[in-house]
Amino acid sequence: SEPLLVNAARGDSVDRPPAWMMRQAGRYMAVYRKLAEKYPSFRERSENTDLIVQISLQPWEAFRPDGVIIFSDILTPLPAFGVPFDIEETRGPIIHSPVRSEDDLRALHPIDLDKLQFVGESLRILRKQVGHEAAVLGFVGAPWTIATYIVEGGTTRTYTTIKSMCHTSPDLLRGLLSHLTKAIIEYIIFQVESGAHCIQIFDSWGGQLPPHMWDLWSKPYITQMVREVKQRCPQTPLVLYINGNGGLIEKMKETGVDVIGLDWTVDMADGRRRLGSDISIQGNVDPAYLFSSIPALTTEIRRVVECAGPKGHILNLGHGVLVGTPEEAVAHFFDVARSFDFDAQLEDFA
């Protein structure tokens, strides 16, 4: 009775690889662009239940992926624990009061889930809409990644402020990461109790840390999150994705998550060899392949699936869908995923 994606995340036998795409709802879809013209504020689109559900279901209605991820943002819960922010179309997220002192840290408070009811209600509606035909996916940002925004004051290309804090104010940074860890744990539980089958943890900027620094400043907090969530929601698969994770994938496995998301810079065969067969993997077609010819895209999808093997693989891109991606290529991606038949392949092999 479980969705195909959940079974694959747990490492159970499946007859084909389940497939979804990171950023599968968004600007590459004409229907989304039309809606965004009517509602130009990203905050409104991602914090209004009706709009969240409508946008989340756009790729479901168009392509029937095996996972329907809630349309949201990793920064969405920030105001619920005391960090107001804005999103500007050209600059991205803006944190007007970065946390850079003990006084700033003391101004934060435990997460107030009442301020995130639009997330919970959206997940409940999505769960009813897709039933058992697809997994409803929730997601969160990892503590390190969320901290980069809160400390830097928004997006950055250098991460110099927070990286300096690792050495100049380590106790302050540890206090911030501990606060974020507790808040994110409660946010994950909230999403699961609201209907999410599976949760993806995005440590988007974890790959900006040298591996030994990731061991110090990201891994312990993700490990704590995984441990506590599994104590309270043992049946919920957890996925960990890091952009630029080639040097970290063995370390990622040590956090205890159920699925490791590989970006496209890691060869799938090498990733499977390094991780072993006792954990599931997700990915990792290069998003640029969706701009190539249909035969080239088909060949690459088949190569990735064959390298991953017939168990414990969720087909995905190695990053989010790119702006301008042809919708017919996205449709073909899911058509190819549905064309696999592992049972028949095993019979042919026998």
Cα–Cα distance between 269 and 284 in angstroms, integer? Answer: 11
pLDDT at position 343: 85
User: Rounded to two decimals, what is the model's pTM?
Assistant: 0.97
Give the model's confidence band at 350: pLDDT under 50 very low, under 70 low, under 90 confident, else very high.
very low
Residue with tokens 């620094």: 213
- Which residue type sits at 321? V
pLDDT in tens, 49-83: 999 999 999 999 999 999 999 999 999 999 999 99
Tell whether omega for the bond before 284 is within 30 degrees of 0, i.e. cis: yes
Mean pLDDT, rounded, for 14-22: 97
| Contact indicator for 45, 93 with CB cutoff of 8 Å | no
| Contact indicator for 27, 95 with CB cutoff of 8 Å | no
> What integer best gives the mean pLDDT of the chain?
96
How many residues would you count in the chain?
350
pLDDT at position 344: 79
Give the model's confidence band at 347: pLDDT under 50 very low, under 70 low, under 90 confident, else very high.
low
pLDDT at position 259: 98
Cα–Cα distance between 222 and 159 in angstroms, integer? Answer: 20
Tokens of 75: 């920064």
Cα–Cα distance between 10 and 145 in angstroms, integer? Answer: 26
pLDDT at position 346: 60
Residue with tokens 């400043």: 217
Mean pLDDT, rounded, for 153-168: 96
Residue 336 CA to chain centroid, in angstroms? Answer: 23
| Contact indicator for 337, 8 with CB cutoff of 8 Å | no
| 3-class SS letters over 93-133 | EECCCCCCCHHHHHCCCCCCHHHHHHHHHHHHHHHHHHCCC
Mean pLDDT, rounded, for 227-238: 98
* 238-241 sheet: strands from edge to edge: 67-69, 135-141, 198-202, 238-241, 259-261, 280-285, 313-317
pLDDT in tens, 198-207: 999 999 999 9
Between 327-339 and 49-63, two packed helices, what is the crossing angle to 10 degrees?
Answer: 60
DSSP 320: P
Topology classification of domain 4-348: TIM Barrel (3.20.20)
Q: Where are the chain's structural domains?
A: 4-348
Cα–Cα distance between 157 and 159 in angstroms, integer? Answer: 6
DSSP symbols for 145-204:
HHHHHHHHTB--SS-HHHHHHHHHSHHHHHHHHHHHHHHHHHHHHHHHHHT-SEEEEE-T
CA dist 112 → 50, 81, 122, 321 (Å): 22, 6, 17, 32
pLDDT in tens, 296-327: 999 999 999 999 999 999 999 999 999 999 99
pLDDT at position 174: 98
Cα–Cα distance between 156 and 159 in angstroms, integer? Answer: 6
- Residue 88 predicted with pLDDT over 90: no
CA dist 138 → 56, 148, 190, 197, 340 (Å): 11, 21, 10, 8, 26
- Residue 160 predicted with pLDDT over 60: yes
Mean pLDDT, rounded, for 242-267: 97
Cα–Cα distance between 272 and 295 in angstroms, integer? Answer: 25
pLDDT in tens, 116-143: 999 999 999 999 999 999 999 999 999 9
pLDDT at position 90: 77
pLDDT at position 349: 53
CA dist 189 → 74, 81, 177, 325 (Å): 15, 16, 18, 34
pLDDT in tens, 262-287: 999 999 999 999 999 999 999 999 99
Tokens of 5: 């994606």
